[in-house]
């Protein structure tokens, strides 16, 4: 018979159960005490500054941009009380009344983070934020959080509250490479912190939470929302007498004397990093871009030369995309980087492209078996669906019966609107998306779409012509090729290439577009001494003028437009700015320089796909010489067209922005 071990009395079992958690608590307290004793609290000037972030041109060696570090310490007495109050309102309203850690904030953040499975919410006091700055670690782990809490407790016991606030204000990051309130005041407002107004203090305080997305120069709408939030918090605490709803967001200074196009480039680079969930403000990034220094310098130089007589309010945008990869080799977002011109002309501005959109309709027609030799009526004042008062050509010119090559070379509106209708307007829209126009453009299937009356970005049009030049292979344009930090690869871009057009269709499109730069074409003056395919574009009321063209190695879009979409282009001594004038001259000068030293390559010969369709005869009229930009617009609002009789290609579901 097995012996049974005697059971412990209930009282002893209770004591054991009580001693286990007490022992664990004592052990935890002992370990915490050891850790606490070993924690070193640093003075502000002893806190190491992070390593600079550097962006390179496409060679991976030549520096394009650098975000270094800048810090100047000041005494708390030199920081105006309203600026201190703005920081307290934004980050820690109970700073003076609670210990260095906030138990409720920690519990709240812990609950959110446990539900999310990772550290995602801070709950940090000013003291904790300063503790974090000492270790320069932005990793979201429980170990780092525990270390942060220990340092915060020791800081709170070692220093007076005013000392902690002074240390914090001298080390926290405000964006623009500025560490500390004094450096931030000079970076954003050009003067010392002692001269800041309450509103300026609110701007700086609002930046602390997320400098990369709250800079008034880069994200004005988000910055203004945060500005009013801080002012409202100040008013709730009796620190601001004004009305947060009507306060004016103070203007901030520019980002230095660097060329405007490089500032726009850096802005887009930061947007692209954020799109890949990479914080552009984290230290030590090494970013290799797709930008070619020779091409970027050529764009800046030719823009200055060609646009020397053009008023500054006329915006200029140039962008080059490499066919087959989508790599952006040059991006010139504007001549001026300032309050009045915040949007990047290449990546953010959406304008009507005029007749540069016609090749998209041509591609859709070719896919619907309408061949290049098909003939259409090019008479002026044609009765066409969607144009109850008749459709006109640029300059009221008639061209008689013309094939699609001639209609492209001379940009005949009265051919292209019927061509879009024959191809199916739904097919024109889906072909545009396939070629690289983002679906966020929300194109409408209306007759005037072939004349470029809807809104797109210059980078979109450069991407479309890159697809033509690549034989129908489409890749989304991109700027950031690789990102590393401490040797670890955070991003390595691999282009996703998809076939948007059959190679024969693309060959026919480029064949027609080469006629635009040939004798009698609307851009004959832009011939660059090597095979090139391009198209001019001038919009309704002369609000924009374009030239988009490509060689097999490089596709480039050039656009001129006013500050607002409805603003006319106004240049002294010029009655009308057409795509064949300043934009074509810019494209010619830039491409000649950018392609220097590269081998001359030819496009594939035409395949002449599809059927050769005829058209009803028009009244006899001699074909006049080509004008510089034969674009026109409907005389009344276009009527929408129903579903096409023959379905087009499906959408890829691509986004953009």
More confident residue, 521 or 480: 480
Round to whole Å and give the CA distance between 399 and 80. 73
**pLDDT, mean of residues 526-549:** 92
532: which 2 tokens? 């090139």
Domain shared by 586 and 492, yes or no: yes
Coil, strand or helix: which one is 530? coil
Round to whole Å and give the CA distance between 444 and 425. 9
Domain shared by 314 and 226, yes or no: no
- pTM for the model stands at 0.73
More confident residue, 290 or 119: 290
Split at pLDDT 50, 70, 90, the class of 383 is: confident
The answer to whether position 347 is within a domain reads: yes
The answer to whether position 272 is within a domain reads: no
The region of weakest confidence among 27-36, 197-206, 367-376 is: 27-36
**Strand 533-538 vs strand 382-384: parallel, antiparallel, or unpaired?**
unpaired
The answer to whether position 30 is within a domain reads: no
Cβ-contact 457, 495 below 8 angstroms: no
Split at pLDDT 50, 70, 90, the class of 273 is: very high
Domain shared by 211 and 306, yes or no: no
The answer to whether position 613 is within a domain reads: no
Mean pLDDT of the chain: 83
Q: Which tens digit of pLDDT belongs to each residue from 113-152? A: 555 544 333 458 888 888 877 654 555 555 666 777 778 7
The string of DSSP codes covering 96-125 is TTS-SS-HHHHHHHHHHHHHHTS-------
Look at the chain and report how many structural domains it folds into: 2
Q: Which tens digit of pLDDT belongs to each residue from 208-218? A: 998 978 988 87
Round to whole Å and give the CA distance between 377 and 619. 9
Which of 547, 569, 594 marks a domain boundary? 594
CATH number of the structural domain spanning residue 184? 1.10.3810.10
CATH number of the structural domain spanning residue 474? 3.40.710.10
Round to whole Å and give the CA distance between 46 and 97. 28
What residues contact residue 146 under an 8 Å CB cut-off, 6+ apart?
none
Is pLDDT above 50 for 616? no
Which of 545, 576, 594 marks a domain boundary? 594
Cβ-contact 47, 134 below 8 angstroms: yes
pLDDT of 252 reads: 86
Domain shared by 359 and 435, yes or no: yes
Domain shared by 227 and 300, yes or no: no
Q: Which tens digit of pLDDT belongs to each residue from 414-459? A: 999 999 999 999 999 999 999 999 999 999 999 999 999 999 999 9
431: which 2 tokens? 């072909």
Residues taking part in catalysis: 91, 355
Q: Which tens digit of pLDDT belongs to each residue from 310-356? A: 877 789 999 999 999 999 999 999 988 865 556 899 999 999 999 99
Domain hosting 438: range is 296-331+341-594
The answer to whether position 12 is within a domain reads: no
Chain centroid, CA 266 distance in Å: 10
Is pLDDT above 60 for 283? yes
């Amino acid at each position: 018979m097995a012996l049974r071990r005697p059971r412990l009395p209930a009282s002893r079992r209770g004591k054991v159960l009580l001693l286990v958690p007490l022992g664990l608590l004592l052990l935890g307290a002992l370990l915490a005490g050891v850790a606490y004793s070993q924690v070193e609290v640093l003075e502000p000037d002893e806190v190491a500054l992070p390593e600079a972030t550097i962006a390179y041109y496409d060679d991976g060696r030549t520096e394009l941009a650098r975000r270094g570090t800048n810090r100047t310490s000041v005494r708390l007495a030199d920081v105006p009380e309203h600026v201190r109050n703005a920081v307290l309102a934004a980050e820690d309203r109970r700073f003076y009344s609670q210990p260095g850690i906030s138990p409720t904030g920690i519990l709240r953040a812990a609950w959110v983070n446990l539900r999310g499975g990772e550290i995602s919410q801070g709950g940090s006091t000013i003291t904790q934020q300063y503790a974090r700055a000492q270790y320069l670690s932005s990793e979201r782990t429980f170990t780092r959080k525990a270390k942060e809490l220990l340092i915060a407790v020791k800081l709170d016991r070692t220093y007076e509250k005013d000392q902690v606030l002074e240390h914090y204000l001298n080390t926290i990051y405000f964006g623009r490479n500025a560490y500390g309130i004094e450096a931030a005041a000079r970076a954003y407002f050009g003067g010392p912190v002692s001269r800041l107004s309450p509103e300026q203090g609110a701007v700086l305080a609002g930046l602390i939470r997320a400098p990369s997305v709250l800079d008034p120069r880069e994200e004005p709408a988000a910055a203004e929302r945060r500005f009013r939030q801080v002012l409202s918090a100040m008013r709730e605490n009796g620190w601001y007498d004004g009305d947060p709803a009507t306060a004016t967001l103070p203007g901030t200074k520019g980002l230095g004397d660097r060329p405007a196009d490089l500032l726009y480039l850096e802005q887009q680079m930061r947007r692209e990093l954020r799109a890949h969930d990479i914080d552009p403000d984290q230290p030590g990034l090494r970013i290799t871009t797709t930008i070619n220094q020779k091409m970027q310098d050529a764009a800046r130089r030719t823009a200055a030369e060609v646009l020397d007589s053009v008023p500054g309010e006329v915006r200029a945008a140039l962008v080059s995309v490499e066919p087959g990869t989508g790599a952006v080799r040059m991006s010139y977002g504007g001549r001026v980087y300032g309050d009045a011109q915040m949007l990047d002309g290449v990546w953010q501005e959406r304008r009507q492209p005029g007749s540069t959109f016609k090749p998209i309709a041509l591609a859709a027609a070719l896919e619907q078996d309408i061949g290049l030799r098909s003939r259409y009526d090019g008479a002026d004042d044609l009765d066409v669906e969607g144009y109850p008062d008749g459709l006109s050509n640029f300059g009221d010119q008639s061209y008689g019966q013309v094939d699609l090559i001639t209609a492209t070379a001379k940009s005949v509106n009265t051919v292209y609107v019927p061509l879009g209708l024959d191809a199916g307007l739904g097919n024109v829209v889906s072909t545009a998306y396939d070629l690289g126009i983002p679906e966020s453009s929300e194109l409408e299937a209306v007759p005037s779409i072939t004349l470029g009356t809807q809104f797109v970005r210059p980078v979109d049009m450069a991407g479309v012509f890159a697809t033509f030049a690549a034989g129908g292979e489409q890749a989304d344009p991109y700027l950031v090729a690789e990102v590393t930090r401490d040797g670890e690869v955070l991003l390595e871009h691999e282009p996703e290439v998809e076939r948007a057009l059959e190679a024969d269709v693309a060959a026919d499109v480029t064949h027609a577009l080469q006629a635009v730069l040939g004798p009698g074409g609307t851009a004959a003056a832009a011939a660059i001494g090597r095979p090139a395919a391009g198209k001019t574009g001038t919009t309704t009321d002369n609000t924009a003028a374009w030239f988009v063209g490509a060689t097999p190695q490089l596709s480039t879009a050039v656009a001129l437009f006013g500050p607002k979409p409805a603003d006319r282009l106004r240049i002294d001594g010029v009655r009308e700015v057409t795509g064949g004038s300043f934009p074509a001259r810019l494209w010619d000068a830039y491409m000649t320089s950018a392609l220097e030293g590269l081998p001359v390559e030819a496009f594939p010969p035409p395949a002449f796909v599809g059927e050769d369709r005829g058209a009803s005869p028009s009244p006899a009229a001699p074909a006049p010489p080509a004008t510089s930009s034969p674009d026109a617009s409907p005389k009344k609002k276009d009527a929408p067209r129903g579903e096409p009789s023959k379905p087009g290609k499906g959408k890829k579901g691509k986004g953009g922005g």
